[in-house]
C-alpha cells in the first residue's frame, strides 16, 4: 500500500521541485520585460515552465525609464546624466 503511494508521490514531488527551480530561472529572464517577475514565476510554476518561457519571450521589452531632470532654459525633461540639453542646447557646468 505504501509503495504504490511513494511511486506516485516521488515523481510528483520531483516534478514540483523541478517546476519551482525552473520557474525561478525563467522569472530571472523577465528582468527587462514588461511582465513582472512574480507573474512569470507563478505562470511557470502553475502552468509549466514551457508556458512561462513562451510568455517571457513574447512579452515586450520594458521601456527604458531613465531618471530625468528639467532643463533650466527650456524646462524640457532630459536624461539626468545629460550635460547638454537635446532640446535647446543648454550646457550644465560641473
What part of residues 63-92 is at the interface with Zn ion (CB under 5 A)? 71, 73-74, 85, 87-88, 90
**28 or 77: whose CB is closer to Zn ion?**
77
Q: How far is the CB of 43 from Zn ion (least distance, A)?
A: 44
In angstroms, rounded to a whole number, what is the distance separating the alpha carbons of residues 56 and 12?
A: 25
- The footprint of Zn ion on this chain (CB under 5 A) covers a number of residues equal to 7
In angstroms, rounded to a whole number, what is the distance separating the alpha carbons of residues 16 and 10?
A: 10
**18 or 72: whose CB is closer to Zn ion?**
72
Residue ranges binding Zn ion (CB under 5 A): 71, 73-74, 85, 87-88, 90
Amino acid at each position: 500500500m505504501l509503495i504504490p503511494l511513494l511511486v506516485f508521490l516521488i515523481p510528483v514531488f520531483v516534478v514540483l521541485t523541478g517546476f519551482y527551480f525552473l520557474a525561478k530561472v525563467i522569472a530571472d529572464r523577465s528582468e527587462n520585460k514588461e511582465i513582472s517577475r512574480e507573474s512569470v514565476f507563478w505562470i511557470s510554476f502553475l502552468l509549466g515552465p514551457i508556458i512561462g518561457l513562451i510568455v517571457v519571450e513574447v512579452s515586450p521589452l520594458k521601456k527604458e525609464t531613465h531618471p530625468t531632470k528639467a532643463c533650466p532654459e527650456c524646462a524640457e525633461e532630459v536624461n539626468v546624466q545629460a550635460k547638454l540639453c537635446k532640446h535647446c542646447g543648454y550646457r550644465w557646468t560641473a
